[in-house]
């Protein structure tokens, strides 16, 4: 799995269509939500309220390694793709790596202009939630 350091220049240099296609590819790779979180999800726990899409997010730090679990509807492939990209590239990383994630990650990936303001705000909220959850757990 490529690191975010490798993905950023690849995304940034790609055209808008390629960036969207890459997000769509990632959307198909989001790991299903573990069964242990289904009941919490049904109760509305761990929803990212700042995102218009129903995004549910769990962040764990076990033995110094980060694990991200999420549920995002298939009908929101760009949001699902971004969450999948984060979950896949950050899985197994240390809390220090997550703490260093740039808050302008969407700009660095070239996704802000691709996705528009409303979606960008929701995705930035997801990134904030991940960083905050990891900091609290670590």
* pTM across the whole model: 0.94
Q: Which domain holds residue 130?
A: 4-137
Q: Above 90 in pLDDT, residue 116?
A: no
Domain count, the chain: 1
Q: Is the dihedral of CA 34, 91, 70, 6 positive or negative?
A: negative
- What mean pLDDT is predicted for residues 95-109? 94
**Residue-averaged pLDDT of the chain:** 94
Instruction: State the Cα–Cα distance between residues 125 and 8, nearest whole angstrom.
Output: 19
> Residue 54's Cα: distance from chain center in Å?
13
Q: Residue 96 is part of a domain; what is its CATH number?
A: 3.90.1010.10
């Amino acid at each position: 799995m490529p690191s975010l350091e490798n993905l950023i220049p690849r995304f940034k240099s790609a055209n808008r269509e390629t960036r969207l296609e890459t997000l769509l590819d990632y959307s198909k790779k989001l790991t299903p939500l573990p069964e242990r979180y289904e009941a919490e999800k049904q109760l509305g726990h761990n929803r990212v309220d700042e995102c218009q899409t129903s995004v549910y997010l769990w962040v764990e730090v076990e033995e110094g390694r980060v694990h991200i679990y999420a549920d995002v509807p298939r009908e929101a492939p760009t949001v699902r793709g971004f969450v999948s990209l984060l979950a896949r590239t950050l899985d197994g990383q240390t809390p220090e790596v997550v703490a260093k994630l740039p808050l302008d990650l969407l700009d660095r990936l070239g996704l802000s202009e691709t996705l528009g303001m409303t979606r960008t705000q929701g995705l930035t909220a997801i990134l904030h939630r991940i960083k905050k959850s990891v900091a609290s757990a670590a």
